[in-house]
Amino acid sequence: MTLRIGTRRSPLALAQAEEVRRRLLEQGVDSEIVPMTTSGDEGAPSGDAPAGLKGLFVDTILEALERDEIDVAVHSAKDLPAEDDEGLVIAAVPPRVNPADVLVLRDASLPPGAVIGTSSIRRRAQLLRAFPGVTVSDLRGNVDTRLRKVSEGVVDAAVLALAGLARLGVTPPHSAPLGLDVMVPAPGQGALALQARGDDMPTLTALTRLDHPESRAALEAERSLMWRIGGSCALPLGALATVEGARIDMLAVVISPDGSRVAKVEVVSDSPDGVAALATKALIAEGAEDILEALEDEG
């Protein structure tokens, strides 16, 4: 059996698919990578995907999976909507890598009134709160494109996921990881999600060998929170679950786009849904609902 692995065409996506291919080979399973272009890669607006902005970067891959054109879909877990398409399941979550965000700078330090690039409303809001006086500029493109714009001086710095840099083997000359007191990562950041058809038992059996229970539980907790909050790339929601034995800790934040209002909580439970429910309740008590309602009114 040779599994067909569907993935986006970006260098990072291909590196992630290659990581999965290597892990499968170690288990004696042959596979081949099938690169694809999604609506998001082609620049489609978020309204073109049923799951909004997140769905744009997985739509073509999921359609191919549903049509049996591929057997496995490899995603950056943070790109997935909060719910799986009918008939599809997350068959495996390999060991998660560092989920932190990192500030990549053009020079050794951030100048006064610096311009920091990001297209993420979550990152933008937390940057404005943590670094008063900076300007946050929209910055899009793959990792190489964003790093080039920093080096060319288009922006003074940019925020990227540490996991993406690590998977590409890139070490910028000037960078600083952002602590959780400054930047709570996106749900699923640093994790891979391997999707398959729920009735494809040979593929499910092969992928089960790659599953890391602690990473899966953390991802399930963060996706459960995202579903309860209604979170997507278009909402300033950060969440990070950590698992030790039967204990799951979660740090979660909802913040207004200008960084002026924040609801930030830490909760503990013994199940992914349990910790997500506690975090949702605590966030609402801290004013998250008012922040999100104000966003809807602005929209």
Quick: pLDDT tens for 211-265.
999 999 999 999 999 999 985 556 899 999 999 999 999 999 999 999 999 999 9
User: 94 or 37, which is more confident?
Assistant: 94
Confidence band, pLDDT 50/70/90 cuts, at residue 41: low
Active site residue 30: no
| Confidence at residue 231, expressed as pLDDT on a 0 to 100 scale | 58
Please name which of 160, 54, 81 lies closest in space to residue 116, comparing C-alpha atoms: 160
Quick: pLDDT tens for 106-155.
999 999 999 999 999 999 999 999 999 999 999 999 999 999 999 999 99
| Confidence at residue 5, expressed as pLDDT on a 0 to 100 scale | 98
Give me the catalytic one of 71, 79, 101, 200.
79
Within 37-189, strands assigned E span 72-76, 88-92, 101-105, 115-117, 135-137, 157-161, 175-178
Residue 153 token pair: 């001086």
Residue type for position 98: N
Length of the chain: 299
| Confidence at residue 51, expressed as pLDDT on a 0 to 100 scale | 43
**Does the structure show a pLDDT above 90 at 273?**
yes
| Confidence at residue 48, expressed as pLDDT on a 0 to 100 scale | 41
Residue 159, phi then psi, degrees to nearest 5: -100, 125
Cβ of 260: how many Cβ atoms within 10 Å? Answer: 11
Q: What is the number of H-type helices and E-type strands within the chain?
A: 10, 13
**Does the structure show a pLDDT above 50 at 31?**
yes
Quick: pLDDT tens for 49-95.
444 444 566 888 999 999 999 999 999 999 888 888 899 999 999 99
**Cβ–Cβ < 8 Å for 243, 266:** no
**Does the structure show a pLDDT above 60 at 282?**
yes
Separation CA 232–CA 224 (nearest Å): 12
Residues with Cβ within 8 Å of 222's Cβ and at least 6 positions away in sequence, in order, are 187, 188, 239, 240, 241, 250, 276
Average pLDDT over residues 155-182: 96
Residue 123, phi then psi, degrees to nearest 5: -65, -45
Please name which of 269, 262, 238 lies closest in space to residue 251, comparing C-alpha atoms: 238
Residue 278, phi then psi, degrees to nearest 5: -65, -40
Quick: pLDDT tens for 6-27.
999 999 999 999 999 999 999 9
| Confidence at residue 230, expressed as pLDDT on a 0 to 100 scale | 83
**Cβ–Cβ < 8 Å for 11, 144:** yes
| Confidence at residue 232, expressed as pLDDT on a 0 to 100 scale | 58
**Cβ–Cβ < 8 Å for 59, 150:** no
**Cβ–Cβ < 8 Å for 169, 130:** no
Residue 60, phi then psi, degrees to nearest 5: -65, -40
**Cβ–Cβ < 8 Å for 262, 129:** yes
